[in-house]
Amino acid sequence: MDRTPAAQTAQPLPSQMHTHQPHDEHAAAHPHLDSMVDRAAHPPQHTPPLQLKRLKLLDQLLALWILLAMALGIILGALVPSTSVVLEKVQFVGVSLPIAIALIVMMWPILCRVSPGSLIPLFRQRQLWQHLAFSVVVNWIVSPLLMLGLAWAFLPDKEDLREGLIVVGVARCIAMVLVWTDIAGGDLDYCAILVAFNSILQMVLFSPVSILFLRVFRTQPLGDWEDKDIDYTTVAKSVAVFLGIPLAAAVLTRSFFFAIRKQKFFQERFLPAIAPLSLISLLFTTVIIFAAQGKQVVHSITDVLRVIPPLIIYFFTTFAAVVFLLRQFHVPYPRTATQAFTASSNNFELAQAVCIATYGAQSPQALAATVGPLVEVPVLLSLAYLLVHLRRRWRWDTDDECPTTFYCHGKNCTPKSKDSIEGRAAVKEEQV
């Protein structure tokens, strides 16, 4: 294309406009694809949607607030022995009621931002099904096997702690992954689909996979374990509560504002107003978790220190492997971030509920499941900040990534190709 000033200001001929008309109709049928063209035509300044310099005080100092919440919880649990008793007195689906409420409130603002209408075009894209297949392999084969190997490598003589770690590895995340994806500027629409898909698989696969790992890969006879089954009821209740309730609340909230024709108020005023609830609930959950287990953590510090290393290696290894692999295949940043946090996050509320119901609240297995979120929260928060930094450093937003395939090496997707982002942007510039 001629880039001289005359060529740039010349009006397109009718024949040229007619030539590009079918392409525009195809673009109009795919609003998600068209939005990617707009970003290519007017690229951002290599900063993620959640720029650290634009975040409010709560967001900017989230790492500090998390550390303070952890310290407050441990101090409260250690100095006030009755704290754990009070918090565990009232439970909901095997989880402390305050934690259950906080998790539901934490997910509601994020799910309110997901438009059900925007999900429909995604299901028409072949790459979505490729991402779902990739997610299934990583979440239900690679990650559980990695945790199984790390549990055996670090805890060969502690079968009870090892069992708790194995349960954590099998419990795939359906809640806090939305928070980490949001902080890192990932694709919330994709994340919502992956979470819903993993929730269905969790109800089907969690119990048999857990029983397989816990019964088959053992060094001692089953003994009393014959009477300890991980039933489907606990899993189904956890999914229904921690995904179903906030999802239903989000759909009803959106429907209400759209029914009274207050879409602009909903987008510009209501969503920003409720956004801090997610991080506030995250901090509250952190305080409650550490307070409920603070005394036990302090008294069993040796076991806790043995459980922490495999968890740290698990989170970093899974996250780094997914980011590296998808980066090699030129997958766009938002979807890479979504896949990375989906793969490395765990459903700690389900793991705790299962361990408590199966082994008892004071069991080493329950302790290992409790240490899971104590490590996961600060580690994944750090990884979210790291990914934001790498996005700017690697200029990830400027990659010529094909939006119609799972990956693109540039062979059939040149800047002039109609299927490339920059190619469609160039066509759009010609028509203006």
Cite the DSSP H helix spans in 29-61. 31-41, 57-60
The helix/strand/coil state of 91 is: strand
Across the range 364-369, mean pLDDT stands at: 84
> Could you tell me the pLDDT band of residue 424, with boundaries at 50, 70 and 90?
very low
Domains of the chain, residue spans: 47-394
Give the global pTM: 0.67
- Mean pLDDT, range 367-377, rounded to an integer: 83
The percent of residues in the chain predicted with pLDDT above 70, rounded, is: 70
Helix, coil or strand: residue 376: helix
Chain center to CA of 313: 18
Cα dihedral angle (164, 167, 172, 177), rounded to 10 degrees? -10
- Which residues are 95's β-sheet partners? 92
Distance CA 90, CA 99 (A): 11
Highest mean pLDDT among 85-99, 213-227, 394-408: 85-99
Task: Dump pLDDT digits (tens) for 214-245.
Answer: 877 665 554 454 545 566 676 677 777 877 88
Could you give the CA distance from residue 57 to residue 62 in angstroms, rounded to a whole number?
A: 8
The two three-digit tokens of residue 276, written as one number: 């801090």
Question: In the structure, what pLDDT confidence band is assigned to residue 54 with cuts at 50, 70 and 90?
Answer: very low
Q: Which residue has better confidence, 405 or 239?
A: 239
pLDDT at 130: 86
Torsion of CA 148, 152, 153, 157, to 10 degrees: 160
Task: From the options 3.20.20.140, 1.10.1240.10, 1.20.1530.20, 3.90.76.10, give the CATH code of 47-394.
Answer: 1.20.1530.20
Residues 6+ apart with CB under 8 A from 67: 378
Lowest mean pLDDT among 3-12, 97-106, 289-298, 306-315: 3-12
Contact 359, 365 (CB under 8 A): yes
Taking Cα atoms as reference points, which of 311, 385, 321 lies closest to residue 348?
311
Residues 86 and 300 sit within 8 Å (Cβ to Cβ):
no
Over residues 408-414, the mean pLDDT reads: 42
Q: Identify any residues that bridge with 91 across adjacent strands, giving them in sequence order.
A: 96
Neighbours of 145 (CB within 10 A): 12
Cβ–Cβ under 8 Å, residues 415 and 429: no
* Distance, CA of 300 to CA of 168 (rounded, Å): 19
Q: Count other C-beta atoms under 10 Å from residue 220's C-beta.
A: 7
